Structure 1
Amino acid sequence: MFRIIPLIICCSFIGLSVTAQKKNDAFQLHIRKAVSPVKIDGIIDEAAWLQADVATGFHMILPMDTSAALLRTDVRMTYDDHNLYLVVENYTSGDGPYMVESLRRDFAFLKNDNFIMFMDPFDDQTNGFAFGANAAGAQWDGLMYDGGKVDLSWDNKWTSVVKNYPDKWVFEAVIPFKTIRYKKGITKWGINFGRNDLKTTEKSSWAPVPRQFPSASLAYTGNLVWDAAPPPAGANVSLIPYLLGGMSKDYDKNTPTKYRRDAGLDAKVAVTSSLNLDLTVNPDFSQVDVDKQVTNLDRFELFYPEKRQFFLENGDQFSNFGYTTIRPFFSRRIGLGGVPIRFGARLSGKLNKDWRLGVMNMQTGKQEETGLPAQNFTVAALQRRVFSRSNLGFIFINKESINYDPSKVTDKPVYNQYNRNMGLEYNLASSNNFWTGKAMLLKSSSPNKTGHDIAHAANLQYTSKQWNIGWQHEYVGRNYNAEVGYVPRQGYIKVAPQITRLFFPLSGPVLSHGPQVTSTWFFEETNMHRTDNETMLNYGIVFRKRNTLNVWASNTYIKLLQPFDPTNTGKDSLFTGSQHNWNTVGADYVSKPQSLFTYALSARYGGYYADGTRLMTNTELGYRFQPYVSIALSANYNNINLPKPWGNNSFWLVGPRLDVTMTNTLFFTGFMQYNGQQKNMNLNTRFQWRYRPASDLFIVYTDNYLPEPFWVRNRALVLKLVYWFNI
């Protein structure tokens, strides 16, 4: 039976991937060359704007998608030989201030009054760009991929202004053609405009989008029709050097203070109008946010997201290949843990409307402390669009140790000379986005590991307004090895069905509600014996004010495949083969985003390993003095009661955070974390001054403390200056 299911799913993929006309093809905004210069000031008085066509008559997405938007929004666009221009009049109703979090770039969409443009310059309904702002003027930009996801790590040079009036706020922007990528000669781009207004709790778009999908869904764009082909972007080379100075001291090891004087360079070269070459020499990522800590009660390696911009920008072809726990490539394997990156290059973008290419090569240096040799990492991905919105992808990953000789490092960890992975992946996206899915096959190659080195997974999901039905299965062989990936578990077969049903009251405070059932099963690869199973029943309620409530109950069964300490504190371990079963109940509540004071509460109580019990509570509080100051506090508490030798264990994880946005170019962030399980407290502060577009000054200070007794473990101070040159 299990072998038949993948075949059924793969056949379903082909049947669902049919070419169809774009849903909102009738929505057209004609764009003409500007008849006058345009000044970016939020005042619509230029002849170019007065003669431009207007996109208006927006459609409501939330609370319901069956009517016209209550608030009026007017959009105009024009261009000249070098730039694309946009101006938007966002009309409002009622008195009171606009709802915004802060002036920080790339704000949370649902927590701000905002306007965002979603642009598909290849008209392939899969990839594009997003530009927007909130009502206080904070910018929002990102690369679009997978038909409706936005990578906010992408920053580039463009300018905008927001001006407030008694009855509206106006957003005006200029986007250089050099900033974006588009196919030469194309005269029709996919485009849509999305707006979020918290006072009325209305989310709307120009071309209508069903409420179950994000307004960024490229399957539902209208058309931007040019009066002539957009001008070529021309030569586009950017140099981004940095200078860095800093100092650090390790009090644990009582070593002398270390001083840093460093420099490096990034370069961006537009090979074609849609293909970009990124180069980096001696990169530094000291300004990146520290990882958000968690109380670790898991049997397997935890996943921490990548935050370094060089790896994030346009990296979806690499990082999105696979599944959450079957990632053949995970960029955090490169250059962390004290391993220096010497240089790297990435060629990425579109070859034409149907083909995408991504090639990356990174070189690291030798790490003396562990004996890890210098290593080279190569990743190559090729993607071909098929049918209307689906694609077929190929990936190859190679990690190679340079001048590797294991005989010279016998007293230190020995690393494989090489590790290679290659795979194929089919991504399904039906023309109306109701059917989505993925089928994937991977093979690894390492010294002394042969056989059972395959990984396969597939899923199929149907999403309508009332129903969300999905199926996923996975197989990972016991010798499958992805040293540059994230695959925390080997030697298993997994099956995970889920179903959700939503109901929509015609009136009252509740917008939607309904049950969800999920069940996840793990089996041993060799004999199909069950090792894990969790079945959960959840009932969710979404209120019209956008606050949410979920209550749930679950049953968990685990058979340990290796010894495990259920407190992860280094105490005694439960033995291999022991079986554990328990029930848990829980609830989660998130407050409405319109309030200046927001909060999220969650709690769970139930059984645990070895007939123990576990109580977990989590609280997230936030208050904003908009738009300048935002204060947040997260507190997580776990109480685990087990028989001896573990006994009663309580773990606190507390993290206050302060965000100050003095202007939309001056930012300060202070973040502290106390982790009772790891007995560590850390402080991270960062000052950022964006003194020119895409050019920054960073001052970063970090501290780590031992809380009992209070003692400094290590601290560091870094000053970094980045400048963006366009050649």
Structure 2
Amino acid sequence: MRINLFLLAFFFSLSLSAQKKNDSYQLHINKASSPIKIDGELDEQAWQDAEVATDFYMILPMDTSFAKVRTDVRMTYDQQNLYLSVINYNGTEGPYMVESLRRDFSFLKNDNFIMFMDPFDDQTNGFAFGANAAGAQWDGLMYDGGKVDLSWDNKWQSVVKNYPDKWIFEAVIPFKSIRYKKGITKWGINFGRNDLKTTEKSSWAPVPRQFPSASLAYTGTLVWDMPPPDPGTTVSLIPYALGGVIKDFQTDKPSTYRKDIGLDAKVAITSSLNLDLTVNPDFSQVDVDKQVTNLDRFELFYPERRQFFLENGDQFTNFGYSGIRPFFSRRIGLGVPIKFGARLSGKLNKDWRLGIMNMQTEKQSSTALPAQNFTVAALQRRVFARSNVGFLLINKESLNYNPNDLAPGTAAYSRYNRNFGMEYNLASANNFWTGKAMVLKSFSPGKSGHDWTHAANLQYTSGKWNISWQHEYVGRNYTAEVGYVPRQGYVKLMPQITRLFFPKKGPLLSHGPQITSTNFFDENMHRTDNELLASYGMVFRSRNTLTVWGSGTYIKLLQPFDPASTKIDTLVAGSEHNWATVGADYVSKPQSLFTYALNARYGGYYADGKRLTLGGEFGYRFQPYVSIALSANYNKLNLPKPWGYNDFWLIGPRVDVTMTNTLFLTGFVQYNEQMKNMNVNTRFQWRYRPASDLFIVYTDNYLPEPFAVKNRALVVKFVYWLNI
């Protein structure tokens, strides 16, 4: 309890500084003096009259001087749109380095330019827009002061044109596609450039090298000559029509045909508050999850990819910690049809943020799963410079359902599950101190006592040191049916310390050790797990990295566990296991056409066994049109009888063909020996106009041995975005 009170007091003391770091960096934006055509030419009078942001600062390899590569940025606007033009001058001769024309590319593997925009000037939330040197677009929602959710997608246009000495990026962003506070004349703004040929990363307003370019704590200021135009009430209708066929070969039933229509709508209640509606949504075009080998005792986490749940979704999904998520949107509608839903989200003003979501699913007669309603409400209040206090309420309700009325042998579902919580998120003005303190309580039928959770962490990040502390408590009856909480009834303590060194010469850019101690106890503070991990990381000047590590692990099983996932036998609850492991990870330099990442580990395992894991990801790009990748993972387990010797592969080749920045073809295979499944997925996407698409998706699942088709599906989906 003393630790908790100390952390809270420390959090508030760190939050008091409100001075913005880069106030002196200002770019004045004036109304366009002429019409603008997005063509990469920059010959309009409006661009000649616009103020220039130049003299970028270097972030990498060192953050102590101006950038060597020149970048010039201009911005202007008219009544409907925000305009951006960027001249990216060459730092050295040679071809640009890009992966492909695929949208939302990897920042570090491409020559690119990105704008980070904070239209509320709260240094916490915003938008990001950019492109690589081949013209592939990059856009996302910004949250937590420096993170970007690339799953967000909206209407905007851009062109990239290459010249012998430079490449030009020109873009138009409709005011209706973003959210901003009406009447505000100062926005946070920064511009980031990644130039792989010179291995230089830079930004207009200086950002310390230990932070990402997207850090909103270090933005400059975009000063408007008058308040941005009020976009008014905007209604966007996004209907879809879908046709498809599905064949299950294992049951040998006739093919089933899909003929669906549905509708999404976006209503701008204000310039900063948005209402999203959906009726009969479909997410068949979303990429399937990347499979991983699971040798853990707990459920794996897979990220949300469905567009409806993403905008302003951080208010819901970022509440809590990676292992304590009271809300996890993938619990809604996966395997169960969603009938309709609504979400109201956005800013009430500079200090208050609101999110309310309600989703309704259908009844499933085959599993006796009742129709369910999901309601989530989040309210966030900014305090001091960049910190905030948040509240979250979650209610899952089974409608017209009584478990006592079920026939014998039928699976029972809970009538309701509710969660209520609050958290304090710390972010100091210079971002050196960050942290979170949280408390949650659940309400479920027949469960009381030990039904709450508490967690807190504090992290200090400077140029040379990264020191953090985190502790968690989850009661044995705490239940989050709409969340991701794979473990209950524990106390966790996790300190971590990292020290970095920066040689002035030689091949190394930085290097240093890291020590992490992860300790689990039961509710009576009896030890159940602990791992001591020591690693040494090296970053080379060409941006390739090498990390070597070693760990010692102790586990006392709380439940029976099959260490080989073979269903032959299980280790008994209460058994204790100790082992040591060594490993290494290497990532090649991103400038090469052929890139790769390798990892290896060897050491002990459960029941005095041995485990060898080898993994790698390999890629080759025929830039900018074709990118080929292969991921492979091999596990070899040597265990006592009855398990004995087990090994299995997980292999995933992938091909991306980007004919233009609006025409994409993706094909990949996932062979999972552990799950005895091979999946083939092909997706064609034609973005025939901004945010409007035609998708053709083909999927096969096979039994590897004997090789036979399990099921097959073909879906054609047409989506149209209409603003009215």
**TM class, shorter-length:** over 0.9
Q: Which residue of 1 aligns with 2:371?
A: 374
Q: Is the contact made by 2:70 and 2:91 (CA closer than 8 Å) also made in structure 1?
A: no
Q: Distance in 2 between matches of 1:93 and 1:590?
A: 24
Q: Which residue of 1 aligns with 2:100?
A: 102
Q: Which amino acid aligns with 2:432?
A: F
Aligned with residue 250 of structure 1, among 233, 248, 251? 248
Q: Distance in 2 between matches of 1:177 and 1:299?
A: 48
The Cα of 1:407 is off from its aligned counterpart by: 3.0
1:570 equivalent to 2:567? Answer: yes
Q: Which residue of 2 aligns with 1:627?
A: 624
Q: Which residue of 1 aligns with 2:705?
A: 708
Q: Distance in 1 between matches of 2:287 and 2:79?
A: 39
1:147 equivalent to 2:161? Answer: no
State which drifts further: 342-351 or 401-410. Answer: 401-410
**5 Å matches for 1:358-437?**
358-410=355-407, 411-437=409-435
Q: Which residue of 2 aligns with 1:341?
A: 338
Q: Which residue of 2 aligns with 1:350?
A: 347
Q: Distance in 2 between matches of 1:154 and 1:674?
A: 29
Q: Is the contact made by 1:264 and 1:282 (CA closer than 8 Å) also made in structure 2?
A: yes
The Cα of 1:231 is off from its aligned counterpart by: 1.1
1:580 equivalent to 2:556? Answer: no
Q: Which amino acid aligns with 1:320?
A: N
1:554 equivalent to 2:539? Answer: no
Q: Distance in 2 between matches of 1:443 and 1:169?
A: 54
Q: Which amino acid aligns with 1:570?
A: K
Q: Which residue of 2 aligns with 1:60?
A: 58
Q: Distance in 2 between matches of 1:571 and 1:659?
A: 40
Q: Distance in 1 between matches of 2:303 and 2:186?
A: 36
The Cα of 1:95 is off from its aligned counterpart by: 2.2
The Cα of 1:96 is off from its aligned counterpart by: 1.7
The Cα of 1:277 is off from its aligned counterpart by: 0.3
1:189 equivalent to 2:187? Answer: yes
In the TM superposition, structure 1's runs of 4+ consecutive aligned residues that sit over 3 Å from their partners are none
**5 Å matches for 1:49-198?**
49-198=47-196
The Cα of 1:636 is off from its aligned counterpart by: 0.3
Query: Secondary structure in 2 aligned to 1:252?
Result: coil
Q: Distance in 1 between matches of 2:465 and 2:517?
A: 17
Q: Distance in 2 between matches of 1:605 and 1:710?
A: 32
Q: Distance in 2 between matches of 1:4 and 1:641?
A: 46
Q: Is the contact made by 2:455 and 2:470 (CA closer than 8 Å) also made in structure 1?
A: yes
Deviations 1:511-543 (A, max 9, x none): 000000000000011x21100000000000000
The Cα of 1:305 is off from its aligned counterpart by: 1.2
The Cα of 1:191 is off from its aligned counterpart by: 0.4
Q: Distance in 2 between matches of 1:407 and 1:253?
A: 32
Q: Distance in 2 between matches of 1:396 and 1:403?
A: 22
The Cα of 1:309 is off from its aligned counterpart by: 1.1
Q: Which residue of 2 aligns with 1:460?
A: 458
Q: Is the contact made by 2:469 and 2:494 (CA closer than 8 Å) also made in structure 1?
A: yes
Q: Distance in 2 between matches of 1:321 and 1:181?
A: 22
1:691 equivalent to 2:688? Answer: yes
**5 Å matches for 1:231-380?**
231-336=229-334, 338-380=335-377
Q: Is the contact made by 1:580 and 1:609 (CA closer than 8 Å) also made in structure 2?
A: yes
Deviations 1:471-510 (A, max 9, x none): 0000000000000000000000000000000000001110
Q: Which residue of 2 aligns with 1:27?
A: 25
Aligned with residue 221 of structure 2, among 220, 223, 233? 223
The Cα of 1:10 is off from its aligned counterpart by: 1.3
Q: Which amino acid aligns with 1:581?
A: N
The Cα of 1:408 is off from its aligned counterpart by: 3.2
Q: Distance in 1 between matches of 2:38 and 2:148?
A: 26
Q: Distance in 2 between matches of 1:464 and 1:678?
A: 44
Q: Distance in 1 between matches of 2:396 and 2:717?
A: 31
Query: Secondary structure in 2 aligned to 1:6?
Result: helix
Deviations 1:430-472 (A, max 9, x none): 0000000000000000000000001000000000010000000
Deviations 1:400-436 (A, max 9, x none): 0010021332331101100000000100000000000
Q: Is the contact made by 2:84 and 2:172 (CA closer than 8 Å) also made in structure 1?
A: yes
1:483 equivalent to 2:485? Answer: no
Q: Distance in 2 between matches of 1:294 and 1:54?
A: 47
Q: Which amino acid aligns with 2:685?
A: Q
Q: Which amino acid aligns with 1:375?
A: Q
Q: Distance in 2 between matches of 1:362 and 1:90?
A: 45
**5 Å matches for 1:444-523?**
444-523=442-521
The Cα of 1:304 is off from its aligned counterpart by: 1.2
Q: Which amino acid aligns with 1:294?
A: V
Query: Secondary structure in 2 aligned to 1:343?
Result: strand
Q: Is the contact made by 2:664 and 2:685 (CA closer than 8 Å) also made in structure 1?
A: yes
Q: Distance in 2 between matches of 1:650 and 1:364?
A: 41
The Cα of 1:154 is off from its aligned counterpart by: 1.2
The Cα of 1:216 is off from its aligned counterpart by: 0.5
Query: Secondary structure in 1 aligned to 2:574?
Result: coil
Give structure 1 stretches of 5+ with no counterpart: none
Paired-residue identity, %: 79
Aligned with residue 38 of structure 1, among 36, 48, 65? 36
Query: Secondary structure in 1 aligned to 2:547?
Result: strand
Deviations 1:552-577 (A, max 9, x none): 00000000001100011211000111
Deviations 1:357-411 (A, max 9, x none): 0000000001122110000000000000000000000000000001002133233
Q: Is the contact made by 1:519 and 1:533 (CA closer than 8 Å) also made in structure 2?
A: yes
Q: Is the contact made by 1:675 and 1:681 (CA closer than 8 Å) also made in structure 2?
A: yes
Equivalent pairs counted in the alignment come to: 723
Q: Is the contact made by 1:154 and 1:314 (CA closer than 8 Å) also made in structure 2?
A: no
Deviations 1:260-289 (A, max 9, x none): 000000000000010000000000000111
Q: Which amino acid aligns with 1:540?
A: G
Q: Which amino acid aligns with 2:395?
A: N
Q: Which amino acid aligns with 2:601?
A: R
Query: Secondary structure in 2 aligned to 1:272?
Result: coil
Q: Distance in 2 between matches of 1:252 and 1:637?
A: 29
Q: Distance in 1 between matches of 2:359 and 2:92?
A: 55
Q: Distance in 1 between matches of 2:347 and 2:17?
A: 21
The Cα of 1:630 is off from its aligned counterpart by: 0.4
1:9 equivalent to 2:22? Answer: no
Q: Distance in 2 between matches of 1:314 and 1:591?
A: 35
